[in-house]
Structure formats: structure tokens, C-alpha cells
Amino acid sequence: MARVALVTGGSRGIGEAISKALKAAGYKVAANYAGNDEAASRFKAETGIPVFKWSVADYEACQAGIAQVEAELGPVDILVNNAGITRDAMFHRMTPGQWREVIDTNLHGVFNMTHPVWNGMRDRKFGRVITISSINGQKGQAGQANYSAAKAGDIGFTKALAQEGARAGITVNVIAPGYIGTEMVRAIDEKVLNERILPLIPVGRLGEPEEIARAVVFLAGDEAGFITGSTLSVNGGQYMA
């Protein structure tokens, strides 16, 4: 029987690639999304992957959404915490609202999604929790104190929870992407991209969403059962931790 994988932010960008790759690998996939109904409908029509709408920043909404996924597809075996937002500003201009929004989604959201599935994974003696952090959670980034703090927190969360899950057959890992060629990144001014971003990447190009997706598929599999508490950097050599 196919295992169930739930991907947050799973209908666009990196999340879309992850959802598609997991389906191609034989998993039953559910894609969560927060607000873009048009993109989610298009994704569902193109892939056949069911979509479920809720905000990962809301614990009760996560509980209800996960319950709906499990009622339709079965218990969640693989959780991919991919949903994330940015509210960039230099710190002296950052508002408390910008700080809270990013922390609520990018850090609290990882707790909100993982907590409701954790006991079921423990009971079944199997689970995979894979969180998409960021290179900026490893090295920091000016103008992203909120984002960097949340993504660094995701790494700390993973290292702690991995120790709790190991004896129960649950692995907990992080993937930290660098600059990935999503719609948002490709919208950056070409001059800025070519002169200020690409020169920082030793391999000389942006990553592709599918490269992150392949890393997720590997960590989700049985063959990755001895890998836990790890951070896999997928950044073209831009930052070597």
C-alpha cells in the first residue's frame, strides 16, 4: 500500500516540484496551499494531486486540514514542511507585523504541521519529516532578519526532534536550498541576477526546483533510514557548512 505524503505549499514553485516527484515515486500525495485558488486548481487539473487549503500559521486549521487529508488518503507517513513567505526589510525599518508574519508561517508553521502527525508516526514506527529551510537560515542575510531567524529555527527544531524520533523509526531532516529558479527568483532583474547573484554561486547557475524535489524523494525513502538530524545543502557551493 502506497505511503501518504503531505506537502505544504505544495502547488507552486519548489512545492509543486516536490509534489510531482513524490507522486512519480509512487506515493499518495496531498498538496496544501494557503491562498492562490487559481494556481491550486490548475495544479490539481494538471497532476491529479488533491489540494487542501489552510494556513500553516493556524494550529487548529492544521489539525483540521490534516484530519481531512487522513480521512481521504490515509495516515500521513511523509510530511514535507515547504510552505514559506518573505517580508523583507532592513531591520531598522522592519515592523512587528513583518516579523510575526514570517515567524508564524516559517517557524510556527513547522510545529503546527508536525505536532498533529507525530503521535501517529510514533505509533506506526515509521515517519519522515522533511523541512525546507534556506541557505539564509545557515549564513544569515541582510534584509531578512525575520526569514533567517525562522529558517535557522527550523534547523534547530529538526536536530532536537530527530533525537526524539530516532528510536520510533522517524527521521527528521532539513534541506537548505540556495538560489532556485522559481518564478519569483527568475523575476529578478537580469542585470542583478547576472552581476550580483550568479557570481556568488560556484557552479555558475541557479538551481532547479526538481533538484530540491529529488533530494526530498531520497530522504523520504527507506534507503535514507540512517540519515536523521541532518541538513542537506543544495546551493551550488555558495555556502559550505
Residue 53, H or E segment: strand 51-53
Where do we find the cell 510552505? 83
Measuring CA to CA, which residue among 223, 184, 173, 189 is closest to residue 14?
Answer: 184
How far is 131 from 14, CA to CA, in rounded Å? 12
How far is 184 from 52, CA to CA, in rounded Å? 23
The residues assigned a catalytic role are: 147
Contact yes or no for 88/147 (Cβ under 8 A): yes
Distance between terminal CA atoms of the chain? 38
